[in-house]
């Protein structure tokens, strides 16, 4: 583990998460069209069963997505995103008070409604670029904010991603976005955005230098679960990518990842336990 990982904690609406040991964020897509699990968790019973499973396997955070952001996806309107999200959020909050609920959205109106209904963290794939109100909203509520890098938008990001130097450009993106955050707000998690507007080569170049992003002084999230950077190298489908995901999650932990965002919680928690053993 990197020495920096022991110094981070997040205040999630009064609940403190220590990142002295990396934690797992379980993914709950309540969408019909997400790349791996779209359509599996459309009703509340299935959603609650999946959240219960993830918590029992060790998830500290559950990240709810009510709109797919897979490559080529078409966004639903704001009203539909909120209509999908709020019943699920209320049910999960009512049944599982111990878990930190994150909401995956880039719209401030959706984030506002989510926070008012119990969300304790916001995960924004645009890093605030889509909605100029997002930074002020997050700072006003002082809840953790995952600031992710993406080139383009979900509908076009994989058509022709291009960089002169992907590592330096993602560094510059973080510098510029962090500079725009309201003064005094520091509840930020950085996510380099594997698979979002990047070729396989871009992704692995970024991954090689993942630890360099600790220079900003914020926790790092690794979102590698079942993504195309695994599938294309191994020539497999997302459904076959658990082993590849675990390999890359393990490397991410060795490079200082503080949060693993995954579909498969049990395996990610096991990776954390084994990597921790190295430092004993």
233: tokens are 């190298």
CA atoms within 13 A on the CB side of 232: 10
**Residues carrying an active site annotation:** 227, 261
DSSP state, 182? P
- Round to whole Å and give the CA distance between 213 and 272: 20
- Cα separation, 243 vs 186, in Å, equals 35
Cβ atoms of 249 and 268 closer than 8 Å:
yes
DSSP string, 200-237: HHHHHHHHHTGGGGGGGSS-BEE--TT-HHHHHHHT--
Do residues 221 and 190 touch, judged by C-beta distance below 8 A? yes
């Amino acid at each position: 583990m990197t020495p920096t990982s022991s110094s981070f904690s997040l205040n999630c609406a009064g609940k403190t998460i220590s990142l002295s040991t990396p934690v797992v964020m379980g993914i709950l897509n309540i969408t019909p069209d997400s790349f791996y699990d779209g359509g599996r968790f459309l009703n509340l019973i299935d959603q609650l069963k999946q959240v219960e499973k993830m918590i029992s396997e060790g998830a500290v955070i559950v990240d709810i997505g009510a709109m797919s952001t897979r490559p080529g996806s078409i966004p639903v309107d704001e009203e539909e995103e909120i209509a999908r999200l709020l019943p699920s959020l209320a049910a999960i909050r009512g049944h599982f008070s111990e878990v930190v609920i994150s909401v995956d959205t880039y719209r401030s109106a959706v984030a506002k409604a989510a926070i008012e209904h119990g969300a304790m963290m916001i995960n924004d794939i645009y890093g605030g670029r889509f909605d100029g109100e997002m930074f002020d909203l997050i700072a006003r509520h002082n809840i953790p904010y995952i600031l992710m890098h993406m080139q383009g938008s979900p509908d076009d990001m994989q058509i022709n991603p291009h960089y002169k130097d992907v590592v330096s450009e993602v560094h510059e993106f973080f510098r510029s976005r962090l500079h725009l955050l309201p003064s005094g707000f520091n509840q930020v998690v950085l996510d380099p955005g594997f698979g979002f507007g990047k070729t396989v080569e871009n992704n692995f170049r970024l991954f090689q230098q993942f630890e360099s992003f600790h220079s900003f002084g914020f926790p790092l999230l690794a979102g590698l679960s079942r993504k195309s950077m695994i599938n294309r190298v191994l020539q497999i489908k997302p459904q076959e990518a658990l082993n590849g995901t675990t390999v890359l999650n393990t490397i991410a932990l060795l490079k200082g990842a503080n949060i693993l965002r995954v579909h498969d919680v049990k395996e990610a928690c096991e990776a954390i336990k084994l990597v921790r053993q190295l430092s004993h």
